[in-house]
Structure 1
Amino acid sequence: MNLDLLFYAAAIPAVVLVGLSKGGLGGAFALIGVPLLAMVVPPMQAAAIFLPILLVMDAVALWAWRRHNNRPTLLAILPGGIFGIAIGWATSAYVSVNVMRLLLGGISVLFALRYFIDAARASQRAEPLAAPERPVAATLWGTLSGYASFVAHAGGPPFQIYTLPLRLDPLAYTGTSTRFFAIMNAVKVIPYFALGELGSDNLYLSATLLPVALVSTLIGARLVHHLRPAVFYPLMYGMVLIAGGKLLYDGITGLG
């Protein structure tokens, strides 16, 4: 198959999934984007191609959610997130492509398995009380979120592990999440440029995919009012599990 056709065969579905996530369909669609694209290009290049697209999406999302935020939560988790990006920068400079595939695949598989385990246990749990802000936990999960965000724009699950137990108002939660990841993506521009990942070739590919991203974001915003989470969340996380497993296999065989 022609290389360009192979690239777009993976890139268009990947960008559509990320756009649907930004439109409101949840983090699982976003999590599969980079692993799917990383099947045809190196993981760091896949993440770099997505970054300009995400920055445009963030600008729209910040405007839409400008009136909603939880400032204490944002301030608690943000330092760890920036520290995680720094760790990701250092890791990308010294770790091989196959090791990066292992890390990315492992993150994807673990997050998908966590969803299915939690779903299996949900019926046995009592309704939890809201957790307080915890600076140590915020730093830990913020760091993991920043690292996963740098490597694969997949920082949603660690962010959710810390923030969901806080049981924030849904509007405040969404506004806080929007601000956190908009800041993360803006900070990532510096190390991505330093690593040479935002060159003209990758920026061109980003530009060609931007219309797909914007359309899919609008579609996601429309569909979020009609789709049943009980059907689509297992499907989304199942896709994450498959993509993560493929990356693990590629990384293991590449190192072997």
Structure 2
Amino acid sequence: MPDLATLAIAAPAALWAGISKGGFGSGAAFASALILALVFDPATALGIMLPVLMLIDVVTVRGFWNRWHVPSSWALILGGIPGVLLGVALFAVADDDVIRLLIASVALGFVAWQVAGQAGLIRLPLVPFRWRNGLIAGVVGGFTSYISHAGGPPVAVFLLSQGLGKTAFQATTVLAFWIINIFKAVPYGIMGFFTLETLEIGLWMAPFAVAGALIGIRAHHLVPERLFFGITYVLLTATGLKLVWDALT
């Protein structure tokens, strides 16, 4: 059994990931991986979270079955595969501190982009679906998903620019990352991200992840997105800055 300090961090991380993926498009789920990266090396943190995220995918995909935008889903999945392979190549040559800086940069960049958008400094023009845009978003999403489970932000930019409704956006995100996460599991296993320790911690996190996913599906229709993401931005900023400090010191 993991020690109580580990569980005190892992359980809320799993609950938050479930709520995010279950109801708010996965954009905030990677906060959970960042939290774990504060106490584990990046590879261990990612290895703990992937099975948990895959479990959440199984729960949430049923709640949004067949409500996704099919062309966008295909474009993101097909682009995501080479994006994952780029992440594999990076992990093969980069040390832990470089990965920490990249994870932190994704987190802080996501917060900056969201704040700028809400302040009216950035406006996404509405454009019809284009395969090229979807494939590019898939590559970037697959890469950031592999190195930090943070594929949500680039995918969100692509989907929101099409003006998709809230449920179609959520369903498309769920489907795309369900497939991408399955694909990620292969190189994670080959590169040694999964160990008895990561799997044991993941098992203890599983009930919290499922509960979070069920809460998220319900909250999708009840909780204002502004409130949920406001809390997320604070979490991401704090953990991102802490990771930068850890990497540089």
TM-score, scaled to structure 1: 0.89
State the match for 1:9 in structure 2: 8
Question: Is 1:41 matched with 2:40?
Answer: yes
Offset of residue 233 of structure 1: 2.0
The answer as to whether partners of 1:20 and 1:29 remain within 8 angstroms in 2 is: no
- Cα pair distance change 1:113/1:132, threshold 3 Å: same
Equivalent residue for 1:118?
Answer: 117
Q: Deviations over 1:188-216 (max 9, x none)?
A: 11001101112222111111110111122
- Code of the residue aligned with 1:44 in structure 2: it is A
1:205 aligns with 2:201: yes
Aligned twin of 2:75: 76
- Larger % of helix: which? 1
Separation (CA, whole Å) in 2 of partners of 1:77 and 1:225: 25
Q: Which segments of 5 or more consecutive residues in structure 2 lack a partner in the other structure?
A: none
* Aligned position for 2:157: 161
Provide the aligned length of Structure 1 versus Structure 2.
Answer: 248
For 1:179, the equivalent position in structure 2 comes to 175
Q: Note the residue ranges of structure 1 that are not aligned, 5 or more in a row.
A: none
Which protein has the larger Cα radius of gyration, Structure 1 or Structure 2?
1
Q: Secondary structure of 1:67's match?
A: coil
Structure 1 stretch 82-91 or stretch 193-202: which is displaced more? 193-202
Aligned Cα root-mean-square deviation (Å): 2.0
Aligned sequence identity (%): 31
User: Runs of 4 or more off by more than 4 Å in structure 1?
Assistant: none
Stretch of structure 1 that moved more, 112-121 or 77-86 = 77-86
Q: 1:136 aligns with which of 124, 128, 132?
A: 132
Q: Secondary structure at the match of 2:161?
A: helix
Matches within 5 A, 1:237-252: 237-252=233-248
Match of 2:99 in 1: 100
- Tell me if the contact between 1:62 and 1:178 (Cα under 8 Å) persists in the aligned partners: yes
Q: Distance in 2 between matches of 1:229 and 1:85?
A: 29
Contact between 2:25 and 2:173, CA under 8 Å: does it hold in 1?
Answer: no
Bigger CA drift: 22-31 or 53-62? 22-31
